[in-house]
Amino acid sequence: MDRRDSIKSIMLGSIGLGVLLEGCVSGVGSEEVKKAISKFKYGRTKIEIEYDNRLFSRKCFSDNEMKTIKEVCNLILPPNEFGSIEEAEVPELIEFMAKDIPSYETPIKKGLLNLDQISKSMYQKSFVECDENQQKFFLDDMAYPDLELSNSDQKDEVQWFSLMRNLTMTGYYTSRVGIEELGYKGNTPNIWDGVPQDVLDQYGLSYDKNWLDKCVDQSKRNEIAKWDEKGNLIS
């Protein structure tokens, strides 16, 4: 991520749920931790590996909570021909982020609890046991924020659902299947030689000659640069 992108995502994703911490539910077996750690090789320092290790060795959500998370994520983004929440490992990301950003943990748990409470009081069963129409009935009530209010002034369940939607969307679209579905074409060696002509045409734009004269001739990119004494490129 470059500097601008990170600022952009911080600004677009301003989720301010500052609630008290509760402890994670339990520890995780050392074999599982080893497996998790070896799965992610992304240029870490020793201190960073130790930190990730600590997060992997705790479990934040109970199996029941995890089931509800999966159910909710699947309602937010149902599977299609490209992939599913499970393939995109969205629940695993939510489990990880709830430890990496500790202020996420309590509100997520509270929201899950709330979901079960309302479904039990209405249908005498847990959220995951409800049918899709019943589930959507609950979600409709929390899925649309009041645009006049800032996120922190929204009702608790609206804030919760916004967080779940954000985590689901970002989890899916940063996964292998989600990136493919989006159609992102970068992160691969290539030669940038300007906006494709059909795209320029679409917007009625063109490169002006003066500007193009300053731009790289990609057929000569491998010739070693030489200049005259006035700084004009001559190779």
**b/e sequence 129-166, b meaning 16+ C-beta within 10 Å:** ebeeeebeebbeebbebeeeeeeeebeebbbbbbbbbe
Structure tokens at 166: 């954000």
Indicate whether 231 belongs to the interface with another protein (CB under 8 A).
yes
Q: Kindly state the smallest distance separating residue 9's Cβ from another protein, in Å.
A: 2
SS3 call for 233: strand
CA atoms within 13 A on the CB side of 115: 32
CA–CA distance, 117 with 162 (Å, rounded to integer): 19
Q: Kindly state the smallest distance separating residue 108's Cβ from another protein, in Å.
A: 15
Residue 40 Cα to chain centre, angstroms:
17
Query: Cβ distance 21 to 40 under 8 Å?
Result: no
Binding mask 64-93 for another protein (x = CB under 8 A): -----------xxxx-x--------x--xx
Binding mask 116-135 for another protein (x = CB under 8 A): --------------------
Residues 138-167 interacting with another protein (rule: CB under 8 A): 139, 143-145, 147, 162, 165-166
CA–CA distance, 138 with 136 (Å, rounded to integer): 5
Binding residue for another protein (CB under 8 A) from 18, 20, 26, 205? 205
CA–CA distance, 15 with 162 (Å, rounded to integer): 8
Binding residue for another protein (CB under 8 A) from 17, 24, 52, 83? 52
Residues 30-49 interacting with another protein (rule: CB under 8 A): 36, 40-43, 45, 48
Question: Nearest CA to 163 among 104, 100, 85?
Answer: 104
Residues 163-202 interacting with another protein (rule: CB under 8 A): 165-166, 169-176, 178-179, 181-196, 198-200, 202
Of 19-27, 109-117, 119-127, 209-217, the window that binds another protein (rule: CB under 8 A) is 209-217
Q: Kindly state the smallest distance separating residue 206's Cβ from another protein, in Å.
A: 9
Binding residue for another protein (CB under 8 A) from 10, 20, 21, 234? 10
